[in-house]
């Protein structure tokens, strides 16, 4: 007969497994992972050893920077790809649905609070051709507004480099970022937004690419390069774009203006100047045509005679004037040539007879 067991007790085999697991847990240090455990012997099968690898990073995730990356409605495909590339390169970023154009910009602060984000990159599209990018520290500020130009994404064939997804980047800044106060403020804002926090759960503990921020022609040029291990050379990965600074605000998406770029020219003004230059060229061509037409229609001005031209002229000999007293004979008008020849022969014969 089968032996009866008490209520709540385990079978014999399972009790052995539980004891072995308890003994293994006592041997392991508190709070640390078990690196090796031995499976119990079942039905004469020898025990198997298996190991659990330790975690990649033993540190603690302290910097809880989170960046919200989203856009307004009306962006084109290139802007959408650029936004997706930034989300791929920044593992500490979050996404959200597109914001309606009618909503005010300060609503973004509430969206960041709901998403538990303290930094924001917002793409604002206007007239389906102009792209503006906001960098903001929510909700206190400051924030900066840029005009984005010359956008190239990761998917383009010119970018030949590659890097590990989720790896932490190095940030390289131009020396001018430490000389001007407004550039120093932007440098600190870029560091807090683009640098991946250490020991982030979605990041990899490798450094294999560089974000460079260079100031040229009063604009900030963003580039992403891969670090090749063999010779430490750089190969561009992408994306790449140019930021033309417009204003720096004290608050988040508004507030008092801290700095305004005097070299900034709006896209509307640029297009207006282009149209005016084309119209000026057209008017100039029309004026040239009118001048040519007036020259053709006007009377030609005669050149005055040169008095020295008469010096080398030799007067021709005057021929004596002959006066004919006899009326010349009229020639008969004959259409037929044969008849004309016959008449001439008859005249010659008459003259020959009279002379004879």
CB 332 within 8 Å of CB 344: no
**DSSP helix/strand/coil, 320:** coil
pTM for the predicted model, two decimal places = 0.64
User: How many Å apart are CA 249 and CA 189, to the nearest integer?
Assistant: 12
Spell out the per-residue pLDDT of the chain, length 356, in tens: 445 555 545 555 544 454 444 444 444 444 444 444 444 555 555 556 767 665 555 678 888 889 999 999 989 999 999 999 999 999 999 999 999 888 889 899 999 999 999 999 999 999 888 999 999 998 898 999 999 999 999 888 677 778 888 899 999 999 999 999 999 999 999 999 999 998 888 888 888 899 999 999 999 999 999 998 878 889 898 899 999 999 999 999 999 999 999 999 999 999 999 999 999 999 999 999 999 888 887 766 666 777 887 788 888 888 888 888 888 887 766 567 777 788 888 888 888 787 76
Strand-pairing partners, residue 72, are 99
CB atoms < 10 A from the CB of 332, how many? 8
User: How many Å apart are CA 356 and CA 352, to the nearest integer?
Assistant: 6
Quick one: residue 91, left, alpha or beta (phi over 0 = left, psi -120 to 50 = alpha)?
alpha
pLDDT, position 204:
87
Q: Which of 167, 163, 169, 164 is nearest to 236 (CA)?
A: 163
Strand-pairing partners, residue 171, are 211
User: How many Å apart are CA 331 and CA 336, to the nearest integer?
Assistant: 14
Q: Which of 86, 92, 33 is nearest to 62 (CA)?
A: 92
Interacting residues of 113 by C-beta distance below 8 A, sequence separation 6+: 138, 139
pLDDT, position 348:
85
User: How many Å apart are CA 267 and CA 129, to the nearest integer?
Assistant: 9
Strand-pairing partners, residue 210, are 170, 225
Specify the CATH number for 67-269; select among 3.40.50.10480, 3.40.190.80, 3.40.50.920, 2.60.120.10.
3.40.50.10480
Q: Which of 99, 106, 94, 88 is nearest to 65 (CA)?
A: 94
**DSSP helix/strand/coil, 253:** coil
For the chain, report the end-to-end CA distance as a whole number of angstroms: 188
pLDDT, position 122:
96
Residue 278 burial by Cβ neighbours in a 10 Å radius (0-12, 13-18, 19+): exposed
Tokens of 4: 């009866």
Tokens of 267: 């896209």
**DSSP helix/strand/coil, 204:** strand
User: How many Å apart are CA 216 and CA 271, to the nearest integer?
Assistant: 23
What proportions of the chain, in percent to the nearest 5, are helix, strand and coil? 30, 25, 45
pLDDT, position 9:
52
pLDDT, position 300:
63
Secondary structure E strands in the chain: 36-38, 49-51, 67-71, 93-95, 119-126, 130-137, 143-152, 170-173, 209-216, 219-227, 234-236, 240-251, 254-260
pLDDT, position 33:
44
220 alpha-carbon distance from chain centroid: 13
Listed by start position, the domains of the chain span 67-269
CA dihedral 297, 298, 302, 303 (to 10 degrees): -100
């Amino acid at each position: 007969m089968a032996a009866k067991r008490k209520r709540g007790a385990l079978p014999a085999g399972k009790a052995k497994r539980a004891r072995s697991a308890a003994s293994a847990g006592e041997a392991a240090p508190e709070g640390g992972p078990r690196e090796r455990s031995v499976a119990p012997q079942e039905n004469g099968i020898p025990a198997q050893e298996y190991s659990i690898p330790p975690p990649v990073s033993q540190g603690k995730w302290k910097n809880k920077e989170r960046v919200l990356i989203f856009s307004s409605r009306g962006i084109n495909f290139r802007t959408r790809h650029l936004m997706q590339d930034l989300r791929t390169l920044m593992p500490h970023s979050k996404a959200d649905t597109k914001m309606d154009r009618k909503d005010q910009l300060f609503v973004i602060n509430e969206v960041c609070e709901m998403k538990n984000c303290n930094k924001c990159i917002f793409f604002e599209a206007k007239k389906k051709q102009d792209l503006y990018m906001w960098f903001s520290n929510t909700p206190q500020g400051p924030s900066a507004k840029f005009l984005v130009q010359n956008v190239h994404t990761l998917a383009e064939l010119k970018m030949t480099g590659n890097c590990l997804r989720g790896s932490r980047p190095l940030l390289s800044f131009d020396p001018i970022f430490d000389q001007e106060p407004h550039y120093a403020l932007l440098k600190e804002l870029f560091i807090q937004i683009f640098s991946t926090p250490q020991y982030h759960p979605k990041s990899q503990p490798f450094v294999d690419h560089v974000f460079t921020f260079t100031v040229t022609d009063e604009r900030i040029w963003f580039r992403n390069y891969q670090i090749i291990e063999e010779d430490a050379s750089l190969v561009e990965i992408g994306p790449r774009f140019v930021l033309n600074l417009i204003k720096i605000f004290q608050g988040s998406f508004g507030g008092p203006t801290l700095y305004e770029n005097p070299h900034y020219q709006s896209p509307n003004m640029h297009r207006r100047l282009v149209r005016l230059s084309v119209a000026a060229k057209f008017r100039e061509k029309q004026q040239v045509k009118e001048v040519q037409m007036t020259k053709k229609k006007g009377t030609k001005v005669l050149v005055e005679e040169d008095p020295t031209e008469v010096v080398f002229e030799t007067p021709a000999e005057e021929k004596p004037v002959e006066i004919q007293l006899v009326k010349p004979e009229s020639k008969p008008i004959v259409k037929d040539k044969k008849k004309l020849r016959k008449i001439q022969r008859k005249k010659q014969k008459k003259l020959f007879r009279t002379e004879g």
